[in-house]
Structure 1
């Protein structure tokens, strides 16, 4: 009985660090209200799943075996994921991308834990408890590195821009999840039970899942690098548009100056003509007419 409660507690508790890992890239836009919803929601899910899974084993509806926990893990992580998915939205494809990265991490930890406990495989009574103790130990030891890796996966600016539909994430979002499904469906636990010489299998599974981790890291670095390149291109486009705007303003100013010069040329021509007429009027003794012309010129200048 005590072993059941300890094992189920460790199983349910192992889901919480992964829930935080899925939340961490989105922390930059999470409001205090959303943070409270996530904290309370995850704790409620943890308590509910602990009671339900414990009752499942105590009442004899499921045997205490590794294959049962694999199925339960697949079922029990969905409430945590859906809580995050509908609390911080509408970044659906980004959520699945982070879920896939977390899945790669979990598959690698699962393999490493089984390799550490391969000598204890026959001790079925306490194997599940030992498995989750080792699994949580490896999880917590490597957790800071994983947090660092995905901590800057999304920036606040990127996520806020991401509220608009992005075709890029529709194609990339499920890639880590598909890789995780492929590796997770290879039946490692079944092979361990059926094959006598396990050395080659151990090496193959460890290498293949290390490669999977490397692929996950490359995906994260590609997303970061790609976003930086997009930012550089956007800044270059903004500078180009600013230069075009300045050139347009200079062109408009040059057109204005050209029109003003044309007006001045017309005014100089008219002024010379009017002064010539006034000189002729004065020379001819037509002082009244010259005065009227002078007043008309003064009135015209005031209007301009």
Structure 2
């Protein structure tokens, strides 16, 4: 078996997964198969002798081909209607049923509302565990920007699913606490609104806290790794954090959340205000 036959055989071993990736990106089995075939043509003409991660390399090529197709769709939708007839693929109901079964109805409905880059970042990362470092060059972004693309898409998907508003806010505050404890700067950025503000009352400021902070980057840098002693609680029924000393609450972190993003954090150290809160412990993760 010569080198070309070996390459073809190895490609065939990955074809099923590559088709699954393209199918979820494009929403059409026929288009997915075309994308995989186009990927094979590119692979057959490329030098793969120095490729360390063959599966990852193939996924990247299929993703690039699929992204081009998604962008082509967007361009066609923006063309004026009087420029002539337009051909649009008619979805196969059976094909849509298979895809809906594999990714969920809410996700299927919202995928078409995403930009091509958002769709690719979300599908590759959330459905196929592709690292943002590998997604970034595909969409011509930095890893942090690719993470933001997936985060925006994820919020759209969550918004399509009916869920109690309090429960959703609790999920955000819980995730924010975990990211702060772990020092996960990227995860903190995902959960913060770009114009997020962190404020202190006078008592908290006198404890040695920094001045008020504005912007997701500044807030994330300050809180990264800083909440190891904080606990997840309900503060007057709203999810928040508390820092205690010998079992007595000393500082409360109150969150303002809009569209699943933290837009504001108030750090409250005034003893009278803190003692007036109804603080209820929640299971810690």
Q: TM-score, normalised by structure 2?
A: 0.30
Q: Which has the higher strand share?
A: 2
Higher relative contact order (CA 8 A, sep 6+): 1
Going by fraction, where is helix more abundant, 1 or 2?
Answer: 1
